[in-house]
Amino acid sequence: MASTMSRLMLGRTLERICKAVLLLCLVHFLIMMILYFDVYSQRFDIFSRFNNGRGANASRGPHHYYYNYSRPNTTFPSYLPGADQLLPTAKPEANRTRPTPKPIPPCPEVPPGLVGRLLIEFSSQMTMERVQRENPNVTEGGKYTPTDCRPKQKVAIIIPFRHRDHHLKYWLHYLHPILRRQKIDYGIYIINQLGEDTFNRAKLLNVGYTEALKDAEYDCFIFSDVDLIPMDDRNLYHCYDQPRHFAIAMDKFGFRLPYAGYFGGVSGLSKKQFLKINGFPNEYWGWGGEDDDIYNRITLNGMKVSRPDVRIGRYRMIKHERDKHNEPNPQRFNKIQNTKNTMRKDGISSLTYRLASVKKYPLYTNISVEIGKPPPRPIKG
Ligand code: BGN
């Protein structure tokens, strides 16, 4: 009797175990089916969330692989498909082997993270190490690409330079965060005139245009003096329908334009606009007049200068002594009367220089050049 009972109990236990195993198999099968159809990866976007550059190294440089694939000059192999080919129409096979990345939207016209008016001062100690620490997401050569949206333009910022290391630190300290908030896809190029011959700002800007284009496919060029810091991040550093003058209200001019045709300090032209005026003049040696010549080129070629609101285009200039070997150019008065006759011969089409070095630093690319010296003055008499 007792043995019959215990056999019955054993039978029931075995039956329960079998049912549990069967249930487990069923659950397992269901999970397998769900995973097979990739429901999670598509509907809840679990995988792309891990892969969209929000991991441990996410802040260093452009990570979104949609974006990088579509760009020339990236570290990704060029045989990979472009962004369009990877959009959700891709075959289901591709989804199973590789997680589905979310397409990044175009950047909004007005970037959402701007703060407006900025406090700009030059009394605190500034070191390159500090600026580097503040900007971990700027990549080698001073480049940055937003990771959460796709900017329309790629902007090269060109700075003519000689012996102004102190100013450069402040410029980088203020500008990198501003440009990042503005969602600009940019690279910084310092064009350093070698030697101690007379400075030539406009020729250095032509060199910057040429060298930046050797580095990447820029569509917009912003030419900035190293001592000018915008006081408002709504002054967006990209190109416009017409050549842009950004530095319209500097502290040294009482926060207004010194004269209607002023185009100095910080300006920006698209590639098309720049080529339309044959770039900038190469023959202005020493201080003054080259910006007026550029203004003349713009108007003579049927374009107009565009400017921000005077409350937004405010700038602080870092105070400094007049540079050596950049004395006012006595020929500038005559030269700016002649733009119409000189602009087709003298410009990007006639540019010559000797490239000495291109060095990529964490926060900028340094391009050192020999650009020659002014032609000997004709002897009077
Ligand atoms: C102007 C200079 C500009 C300079 C501005 C502001 C000339 C040409 C002869 C009139 N132009 O007078 O180059 O940017 O002052 O400093 O000197």
Residue 31 CA, ligand 1 centroid: distance in Å: 75
The Cα 69–Cα 72 span in angstroms is: 8
Residue 211 CA, ligand 1 centroid: distance in Å: 27
133 and 235 share one domain: yes
The answer to the question of residue 62 being in a domain is no
38 and 132 share one domain: no
* Reported confidence tier of residue 39, pLDDT bands at 50, 70, 90: very low
Pocket test for ligand 1, best of 201, 291, 305 (most atoms within 8 A of CB): 291
217 and 331 share one domain: yes
The Cα 47–Cα 268 span in angstroms is: 41
**Following CA atoms 234, 237, 240, 245 in sequence, which dihedral angle do they give, to the nearest 10 degrees?**
90
The answer to the question of residue 313 being in a domain is yes
Output Rg (C-alpha) for the chain, integer angstroms: 30
The answer to the question of residue 303 being in a domain is yes
Residue 121 CA, ligand 1 centroid: distance in Å: 26
Q: Is 166 a catalytic residue?
A: no
Contact 173, 132 (CB under 8 A): no
Residue 259 CA, ligand 1 centroid: distance in Å: 10
Q: What is the CATH number of the domain that holds 297?
A: 3.90.550.10
191 and 304 share one domain: yes
The Cα 344–Cα 300 span in angstroms is: 11
Q: Is 320 a catalytic residue?
A: yes
The answer to the question of residue 93 being in a domain is no
The answer to the question of residue 335 being in a domain is yes
* Reported confidence tier of residue 71, pLDDT bands at 50, 70, 90: very low
163 and 291 share one domain: yes
133 and 277 share one domain: yes
The whole-number pLDDT of residue 381 equals: 52
154 and 13 share one domain: no
The whole-number pLDDT of residue 100 equals: 77
* Residue-wise pLDDT tens digits, 212-253: 999 999 999 999 999 999 999 999 999 999 999 999 999 999
- Per mean pLDDT, which range of 69-83, 84-98, 289-303, 330-344 is the poorest? 69-83
The answer to the question of residue 123 being in a domain is no
Strand 220-224 versus strand 266-270 pairing type: antiparallel
The answer to the question of residue 78 being in a domain is no
**Residue ID of nearest Cα to ligand 1 atom 14:** 264
Structural domain that includes position 37: 8-43
The whole-number pLDDT of residue 203 equals: 98
**Residue ID of nearest Cα to ligand 1 atom 11:** 289
21 and 152 share one domain: no
Domains contained in the chain, number: 2
134 and 22 share one domain: no
The answer to the question of residue 307 being in a domain is yes
* Position 374 pLDDT exceeds 90: yes
Average pLDDT, the chain: 83
* Position 34 pLDDT exceeds 60: no
Q: Is 285 a catalytic residue?
A: no
The whole-number pLDDT of residue 84 equals: 27
300 and 181 share one domain: yes
Ligand 1 neighbours by CB, cut-off 6 Å = 258, 264, 288-289, 291-292, 332-333, 336
* Reported confidence tier of residue 90, pLDDT bands at 50, 70, 90: very low
The whole-number pLDDT of residue 58 equals: 28
More confident residue, 265 or 10: 265
36 and 183 share one domain: no
